Structure 1
Amino acid sequence: MSAEQRLADRRERLMTAAYTLYAKPGFAATTIERLCSEARISNRAFYECFGGREELLQALHDRCVEESLAHVAKALQEAPHSLEGKVEAGIRSYIEFATADWRRARIMHLEVRRSGDVLTASRQRAVDAFARLIEEASAEFPVSGPVNRRLVALGAIGALQELLIEWILGSPSPDVDELVDVAAHIFRRALTGW
């Protein structure tokens, strides 16, 4: 392998190790030494790939967000051409994608909060990207009264995050279909009053 290929391989091994370790036991409990041991690389090689644990967490979070955005955008394109169809498809797509892998759900909805200021900017970019997606998907449909679509999108995102935290931490965890129904209801009520 070339030097670039070796670097890319190490970087990917670290991302894979962090995907599991940052999800559990969590970002705060995961040391660089543990990441390197899991990825089977030296500590020196770690710093050739990332400036620190925080930079690795940001790269991992950004990847999860990009994959989620692509998944939801595809679902919205294929959804029935109605507000209800778009709401149902977008929310179902996001919840099913997030819950398909518990590590993704934990990183995007639990560790993002537990990491303190580490992911503040990354989290805000993600929320903004999802809010724009929601605004665009609902823009051509009439709503009842003077509704600020951006604020509705932000509220829906907040509700969705809390529902997914309940799925992660709840005992027992709520059913995915129930999460979809509740989130869709909240979003529909906010936009249309029904």
Structure 2
Amino acid sequence: MNGRSYRGMSAEERLAERRERLISAAYILYSDPGFPETTIERLCAEARISNRAFYECFSGRDELMQTVYDRCVRETLDAMSKAIEQAPDTLADRVETGVTSYISFVTDDRRRARIMHLEVRRAGECLVTSRQSAVAAFTRTIESNVADLPEVTKANQHLLALGMIGAIQELLIEWVLADDPPPVAGLIDTATHIFRRSFVT
């Protein structure tokens, strides 16, 4: 691919622009109708690019799904970490801030919640590594923010963090799939209660 300009854009800029259009299309379609139901042809139609252009950007649906999922995780981690940094240095405040920021950010856009907590599982083997990396990142965030607090239990904090992540994931799956979803405030209250009960000595 050469670097000649077309319509004021270099080849690299055109490629980047097509990638972003495909990522936006996948964010829409992988959440509804879902990853298994979304074909490359449908992605290309949504992004308004050719099938050939698709393969200049991604090797297939799996790589595109991984890109979308990883971006959702990164944005959520950033939002949560920034919120926790501003919280007072008590377990109660850090737990409430962390849980509230995570659940609020994820549920602010139902597509994000569905991709991160449901479609990642429906995607199967292609997302196993990305999902493990995401769980590890959230686990480290939890551990690093409770380890220095005197009121925290001496039990295995790594395993407790994993358990808390699993609990929040199940709460959000319920929220995504329910015909009558529980209020977000209820999810936050429940998750906060579980965290406090688990980490306080």
Give the structure-1-normalised TM-score: 0.97
Superposed, 1:128-147 pairs within 5 Å as 128-143=136-151, 145-147=153-155
Distance 1:144 1:95 in 2: 22
In the alignment, which residue of structure 2 is the partner of 1:80?
Answer: 88
- Deviation (angstroms), 1:143: 4.2
Q: Partner letter of residue 158 of structure 1?
A: G
State yes or no: 1:8 paired with 2:19.
Answer: no
Q: Which range is displaced more, 171-180 or 128-137? A: 171-180
Q: Which range is displaced more, 12-21 or 72-81? A: 72-81
Kindly, what percent of the aligned residue pairs are identical?
Answer: 61
Unaligned stretches of 5+ in structure 1?
none
Two-structure CA RMSD over aligned residues (Å): 0.9
State yes or no: 1:126 paired with 2:123.
Answer: no
- Deviation (angstroms), 1:188: 0.9
Distance 1:142 1:155 in 2: 21
SS in 2 for 1:146: coil
Superposed, 1:25-174 pairs within 5 Å as 25-143=33-151, 145-174=153-182
Distance 1:184 1:74 in 2: 18
Distance 1:187 1:152 in 2: 9
Distance 2:152 2:172 in 1: 28
- Deviation (angstroms), 1:74: 0.3
Q: Structure 1 residues 104 and 44 mapped into 2: Cα distance closer, same or farther (>3 Å)?
A: same
Q: Partner letter of residue 16 of structure 1?
A: S
In the alignment, which residue of structure 2 is the partner of 1:192?
Answer: 200
Equivalent residue in structure 2 for 1:19, among 27, 40, 57: 27
Unaligned stretches of 5+ in structure 2?
1-8
**Is the 2:91–2:152 Cα contact (8 Å) retained in structure 1?**
no
SS in 2 for 1:8: helix
Q: Partner letter of residue 112 of structure 1?
A: V
- Deviation (angstroms), 1:145: 4.8
SS in 1 for 2:189: helix
